Amino acid sequence: MCVTQCHIAVMKATHPVLCTIVPPHILDKLARADDPALAGPARRTLETDAAQRARRQFAPVLGATPAAPPGDTAARTPHRTVHDAEHLRSLPGRKVRGEGDEPHPDATVNRAYAGLGATFELLLKAFGRDSVDGNGLPLVASVHYGENYGNAFWDGQQMVFGDGDEIFRDFTLPVDVIAHELAHGVTQYTAGLTYFGQSGALNESVSDVFGSLVKQYVDDQSADRADWLIGAGLLTERVTGVALRSLKAPGTAYDDDLLGKDPQPATMDGYVHTSRDNGGVHINSGIPNHAFYLLATALGGKAWERAGQIWYDTLTAGSLRADADFADFARATVAAAHTRFGDGAEREALLKAWSRVGVPTG
């Protein structure tokens, strides 16, 4: 739902802009529902997101910082702070749990705290990255944001979670939602993929990939055991659907009278040309999402060890243009795979994955 860019190019400074987990086409559909109990919260969520986007335009200009050199990862620890917005829209709210504090009586606070920690741990242990910026950036979250706020977002500086409504449950429930939004921060401090068209879809896809990886890491799952869903458990019983998106089978996450049918394509044959949602960033992200799923399941084992490493190397190599399209990204992953693993099984599986979704690798 961003207007311009969702993050920061490596050699460029910009204003941080809002990145939300629920696609605008879902909220737009709900806002037109006949039932005021559904339409009202959706409209207020859209209005809240628009107001936050406007505030981001006046936020301090940020620039990317180089990641710290590799060192003793055991010595690096997260610096988490969770605030309670108390159903207001003023951020960050009242501090309720800091790093090392005892669990809070509020389960939402504790889930946010744990999700921040799980994302930090995967970045550190799998990729040697110290927080989202590579330099130990403190991880800040606010829960209980707004009244019946049906979204979660990264605003360039912190995480914000709504409590949901009749359609969405508490947004801290799926750990992959937390990790997805924090991954926007990783992109913000690395490749800086412009939030429009194919580069914007890549931005969303990278967040879905790392969101799924964090969930698999927490559950200690191999690629063949993962559900490859984003936001599983977030939808209430009023919705016919299992999640917001599926990397395994884009276009099948939901098919519902209220939400409509999941519009994500799995291949370039279904690519959606639209001016909405910044050129369909939440829709066409299904294509690189599916390529990652095909790669990870072909390689087997823990998806973060090889497939995830290739994606991370691609994101952080410094050679990817901010306006990269799918083919640019695909070629960059092939180069990253060659650098990391040589011309073995990883490269072969990668070429097949991109071929199956119809993206050329040159």
Question: For the segment 36-82, what is each residue's pLDDT rounded down to a tens digit?
Answer: 999 999 999 999 888 876 665 544 444 444 555 555 555 689 999 99
Q: For 324-350, how does the pLDDT look when each residue is reduced to its tens digit (9 = 90+)?
A: 999 999 999 999 999 999 999 999 999
Q: Return d(Cα 341, Cα 158) in angstroms, integer.
A: 35
* pTM exceeds cut of 0.85: yes
Return the active site residues. Answer: 181, 282
- Each residue of 6-28: b (16+ CB within 10 Å) or e? bbbbbeeebbbbbbbbbbbbbbe
Q: For 161-196, how does the pLDDT look when each residue is reduced to its tens digit (9 = 90+)?
A: 999 999 999 999 999 999 999 999 999 999 999 999
Q: Is 207 exposed, middle or buried (0-12, 13-18, 19+ CB in 10 A)?
A: buried
Q: For 246-298, how does the pLDDT look when each residue is reduced to its tens digit (9 = 90+)?
A: 999 999 999 999 999 999 999 999 999 999 998 999 999 999 999 999 999 99
**Peptide bond preceding 92 in cis form (omega within 30 of 0):** yes
Q: Return d(Cα 88, Cα 239) in angstroms, integer.
A: 27
Q: For 281-292, how does the pLDDT look when each residue is reduced to its tens digit (9 = 90+)?
A: 999 999 999 999
Q: Return d(Cα 180, Cα 321) in angstroms, integer.
A: 22
> What Å distances lie between residue 13 and 16, 17, 39, 218, 280, CA to CA?
9, 12, 38, 34, 25
The structural domains of the chain, ordered by start, are 13-188 (3.10.170.10), 223-356 (1.10.390.10)
